[in-house]
Amino acid sequence: RPAPATRDAARPEPAKSDPGRGDRSSAVSLPSSRPEESSAISPSRGETFTVQVAAYRTRSDAEKLRDRLGARGLDADVSQADTAAGVFYRVRIGRYRTRVRPAEAGPPSRVLISEDELRARVAALGQAIARDYADANPVLVGVLKGALVFMADLIREMPIEITMDFMALSSYGSGTRSSGVVKLAADLSMPIDDRDVILVEDIIDTGRTVSYLKRNLETRHPRSVRLCALLDKIERREVEVDIHYLGFTIPNVFVVGYGLDHAGRYRNLPYLAVLDHV
């Protein structure tokens, strides 16, 4: 379908980033898709505003994302853009009458870590844990709800015997910064005395939540407690934390997707993205 007429300002196209482990402090694989900041205005008659979600080098990749967004109830289109950097295929959603609504609706605009990068790094983490615990039958403790998707993919990369359990804690509520007040909402369903325990966290922020959890578990007399984290936001650290298995170091931005949320939204995105408008 042809893309609807928009009044979005011109945007630069994405630069490619290298997959795998590393510091993602400057990694931005897609440009911001938000319209320029402005007070709410209405477009000219017959025009609408849209939100650019992504831009790809190939039409097939763009159409795959369009179909995934469509399956989630979002009205997405693919349009071709001929730029000085080459041809790109833009994926945009919505037909909004004002600039305010697209800024508040729609998915995050900037992909920080892609599906392929996540898949490769999680596989490497799973294999490393499997080597270290080949005959130990470790207990993997997932911290709900954010680590659920990460843990599900992680254990499928571990061809060893393992035991799983979960705990639920919270220090965010519906906000975008850790409150520093940790609440234990759900405890383990089994004893862990004399067991090797691996905490599986989605993101380490100030370090207060995971430090509390580690101290809590150590009172139960496990053989060892180690930490596996998908993301480390080290700029926000207030408490020293030893991360034994780490996916990515990221800058001080609020990320969603791959199990991480904002006020309960975006957990089902298959990539990790920056939520610029919160």
Q: What is the mean pLDDT of each run of 10 residues along the chain (278 residues)?
A: 44 39 44 36 58 85 82 77 87 68 59 96 98 96 95 97 91 50 84 97 92 94 98 93 96 92 89 80
Is position 121 within any domain? Answer: yes
CATH number reported for the structural domain that contains residue 258 in this entry: 3.40.50.2020
Q: Which residue, among 224, 220, 265, 225, has the nearest Cα to 104 in the 3D structure?
A: 265
* pLDDT value of residue 96: 63
Provide the domain limits for residue 74. 22-107
Q: Tokens 């080949």 — which residue?
A: 134
Residues 101 and 134 in one domain: no
* Residue 132: φ, ψ to 5°: -75, -25
Instruction: Give the residue from 62, 85, 107 where a domain finishes.
Output: 107
**Which of the residues are catalytic?**
205
Answering whether pTM is above 0.85, one says no
Q: Which residue, among 30, 11, 22, 17, has the nearest Cα to 108 in the 3D structure?
A: 30
Is position 43 within any domain? Answer: yes
Asked whether 140 and 198 are in contact (CB, 8 A), the reply is yes
Distance of CA 220 to the CA centre of its chain: 31
Strand partners, 4: none
In eight-state DSSP terms, residue 88 is E
Q: For strands 76-83 and 86-96, give the pairing.
A: antiparallel
Residues 33 and 128 in one domain: no
* pLDDT value of residue 38: 35
Tell me the two tokens of residue 83: 């730029």
Q: Which residue, among 87, 83, 77, has the nearest Cα to 57 in the 3D structure?
A: 87
* pLDDT value of residue 31: 36
- What is the rounded distance in angstroms from the CA atom of residue 201 to the CA atom of residue 198? 10
Tell me the two tokens of residue 185: 């909402």
CA 169 to each of CA 113, 166, 248, 252, 270: distance values in angstroms, whole numbers, following the listed order: 25, 10, 22, 22, 23
Is position 3 within any domain? Answer: no
Number of structural domains the chain divides into? 2
Is position 51 within any domain? Answer: yes
